[in-house]
Amino acid sequence: MKFECVLYHAKKGIAEIRLNRPDRLNAVTEQLYDDVLGALDVAEHDSAIRVIVLTGEGRAFCAGADLKEHAAGERSDFQKRLYLIKANDVCERLRKVSKPVIAAVNGYAVGAGAEMAVSSDFIVMKESAKMWFPEISIGTFVGGGISHVLPQLVGITKARELIMTGRHIAGPEAVAMNLAVRSISDDQFEQGVEEFAAEIAAKAPLSLRLAKQSLNTACSTPYEAALAIELEGIRACMATKDWQEGIDAFTEKRAPVFKGE
């Protein structure tokens, strides 16, 4: 599958979406956003894909908005609004795509790049990678639902600090504050991401989808409603062949082989 601004590769149940504007540190444009949305659609509708990895080509994950294009001043107010809506659409799609998304932050994740990473289900960072939110420092504001999602990850006090100061965070500190789940040495990064993605890809697809949906709405779901959702989720799983495979594998003391059926 070919796109103008992203590279798409699928292997062993893992779809990799690699932002591909390395000469601009993968800064976002309308076309890049369109391509990410298109690649997510491909992965969503491919039954062989269990996990999606979002990463960047070159030395950056994503350096945020392409300020060179902004500085050109060629967009009308209407076009600016469409651009911002598209940015929101990408972050929302990362949250709502039915398959787990791992943001593999291989370098700078700034502004819109940090927003895409935070909108993913997991962040895995190189130890040397840096993430920050510069928006307030340059007279604008965060987008992509970050003022809603970030406090759920790191707490309201830390979210205030990160958004209001624009402080840079490296991989180890991101893990310490529960923003990232892994900080991997630079020379082991690609292997570490692949192993983490493979670990998740080995799980039952329906169970993964239910877990993502439930956890992403956990903060707004009353306890009694969560009980009902979980009950129906278990009943749905029990009607699948994967449920029986899980039981058989446990009984036979082997790793299960789930087929999404």
- pLDDT of 74: 72
Q: Which residues contact 5 (CB under 8 A, 6 or more apart)?
A: 19, 20, 21, 29, 31, 32, 35
Confidence of residue 71 (pLDDT cuts 50, 70, 90): low
Is residue 88 pLDDT above 70, yes or no?
yes
Q: How far apart, in whole angstroms, are the C-alpha atoms of residue 162 and residue 170?
A: 12
Q: What is the percent of the chain with per-residue pLDDT over 70, rounded to a whole number?
A: 98
Confidence of residue 70 (pLDDT cuts 50, 70, 90): low
Q: Are 179 and 169 in contact (CB under 8 A)?
A: yes
Which one from 57, 69, 74, 135 is the annotated catalytic residue?
Answer: 135
Which residues is 174 bridged to in the sheet? Answer: none
- 232 included as an active-site residue: no
Q: Tokens representing 174? A: 């991101």
Which one from 115, 127, 199, 245 is the annotated catalytic residue?
Answer: 115
- pLDDT per residue as tens digits for the range 46-67: 999 999 999 999 999 999 988 7
- pLDDT per residue as tens digits for the range 176-209: 999 999 999 999 999 999 999 999 999 999 999 9
What mean pLDDT is predicted for residues 233-248? 95
Specify the pTM: 0.95
Instruction: Tell me the CA distances in angstroms from 56 to 7, 82, 128, one per residue in order.
Output: 9, 24, 15
Q: For tokens 């491919």, what's the residue?
A: 46
What mean pLDDT is predicted for residues 225-238? 95
Q: Which residues contact 53 (CB under 8 A, 6 or more apart)?
A: 14, 15, 16, 17, 101, 102, 104, 193, 197
Mean pLDDT for all residues in the chain: 95
What mean pLDDT is predicted for residues 69-76? 66
Confidence of residue 73 (pLDDT cuts 50, 70, 90): low
Q: Which residues contact 21 (CB under 8 A, 6 or more apart)?
A: 5, 27, 29, 32, 57
What mean pLDDT is predicted for residues 136-159? 96
Confidence of residue 25 (pLDDT cuts 50, 70, 90): very high
- 115 included as an active-site residue: yes
Q: How far apart, in whole angstroms, are the C-alpha atoms of residue 170 and residue 153?
A: 16
**Domain 6-201, second-level architecture:** Alpha-Beta Complex (3.90)
Is residue 72 pLDDT above 60, yes or no?
no
